Amino acid sequence: MQVFYLAGLQQQLSIILGILMIVVAVVPEKIFAKYNFSKPVYRLITKVKTSLGQQFKSKSYKSLFTIGLLNGLLPCGMVYVAIFGAIAMQSVTLGILYMILFGIGTIPLLTAIVYLSNIFSFSFRKTIQNMIPIVAILIGMLFIIRGLGLDIPYLSPSNLSLFVQSEANCH
């Protein structure tokens, strides 16, 4: 990722990833399934789901650990958005930190969902689920704006401020 930053490709990468986020959020899943771009990936996911189902039958600590590992291999749209964000970071270290903070940030939310899911109505849960693509589109737009180099402090740095400088260039 530092290579993208130093080569001046970070802006282009940010724009491309923003467009990809928006396309994935807008294009119906049926279209992706119709063209079946990732048949080998679906085979792997099927194997993971099968193994996951077998682990749910057992109540041992080993099976709970395996469930946690296998669950991380299942696809999740929000994780993909986070991965795009990590790729667009200015260094490998920042990308790793981004993913760690994303993971830590999901712990309270996922815990709340497990314990409070019965409190919320089905329609409220459906509303939240329908908002996920909107959030992905907004983040994609933010990536595009960031990549355009509009010289907006903290949002869209200019082309010149993306290059290595001896002194900080804060507006």
pLDDT band at residue 11 under the 50/70/90 scheme: confident
Residue 24 half-sphere exposure, CB side, CA atoms within 13 Å?
Answer: 20
Beta carbons of 107 and 33 less than 8 angstroms apart: no
Quick check: 140 and 27 in contact, CB under 8 A?
A: no
Tell me what pLDDT residue 72 has. 65
Does residue 171 surpass a pLDDT of 70? no
> What confidence score (pLDDT) does residue 120 get?
80
Mean of pLDDT over the chain: 77
CB 141 within 8 A of CB 18: yes
In terms of Cα–Cα distance, which of 94, 88, 51, 57 is closest to 73? 51
* Residue 120 DSSP SS3: coil
Who wins on pLDDT, 29 or 164?
Answer: 29
In the block, tokens 């804060």 appear at 170
The band of 163, judged by pLDDT with boundaries at 50, 70 and 90, is very low
Query: Quick count: other Cβ atoms within 10 Å of Cβ 87?
Result: 16
| Residue of 127 and 38 predicted with greater confidence | 127
Q: What is the pLDDT of residues 77-114, one digit of tens each?
A: 678 778 877 877 778 898 889 989 998 988 888 788 77
For residue 28, is pLDDT > 50? yes
pLDDT per residue as tens digits for the range 105-157: 888 887 887 788 788 888 888 898 889 889 889 989 998 998 888 888 877 77
pLDDT tier for residue 6 given thresholds of 50, 70 and 90: very low
